[in-house]
Structure 1
Amino acid sequence: MVPNVGSTDRLVRYILAVVFLIIAFFGSSGIWAWVFGLLGVIMAVTATLNFCPIWAVFKINTRGKAS
């Protein structure tokens, strides 16, 4: 698992995770609460691991040049 999430991408993912989790807990109900909750968890996990499987499939790397 080669890291492919850069610092700006990571920050955006953390912000989206917080927004999605707030929507899940306070702004929606039913299936939408689960959808937003799952999206929030996925964003937080991919930001924490510095790895996004979707980016890997499309060979996208937001970390910049490899050293």
Structure 2
Amino acid sequence: MPRNEGLIDRALRIVLGLVLISLVFVGPQSVWGWVGVVPLVTGLVGFCPLYAMFGLRTCPVRN
């Protein structure tokens, strides 16, 4: 599977995912924190299906 996320994009997604998931255990303890699994997984994998659908890419093109 080709990657379509750059390094900064991936790092931000991982941090955002972890912050949202932490809301399940601390803070308001809302179930909505599990939404953080989506950015966490896409950040770890390096591929975002929505980016692919819209033809977006933050990863530099390899020659």
TM bracket (short chain): 0.7 to 0.9
Counterpart CA distance in 1 for 2:50 and 2:32 is 18
Q: What amino acid does structure 2 have at the position aligned with 1:55?
A: Y
Q: TM-score, normalised by structure 1?
A: 0.80
Gap regions ≥5 residues in structure 1: none
Equivalent residue in structure 1 for 2:32, among 31, 35, 39: 35
Equivalent residue in structure 1 for 2:50, among 44, 47, 54: 54
Gap regions ≥5 residues in structure 2: none
Count of residue correspondences:
63
Q: TM-score, normalised by structure 2?
A: 0.84
Counterpart CA distance in 2 for 1:21 and 1:48 is 15
RMSD: 1.4
Runs of 4+ more than 6 Å apart: none
Q: C-alpha displacement at 1:44, in angstroms?
A: 1.2
Q: % of aligned pairs identical?
A: 32
Q: What amino acid does structure 2 have at the position aligned with 1:5?
A: E
Q: Which residue of 1 aligns with 2:19?
A: 19
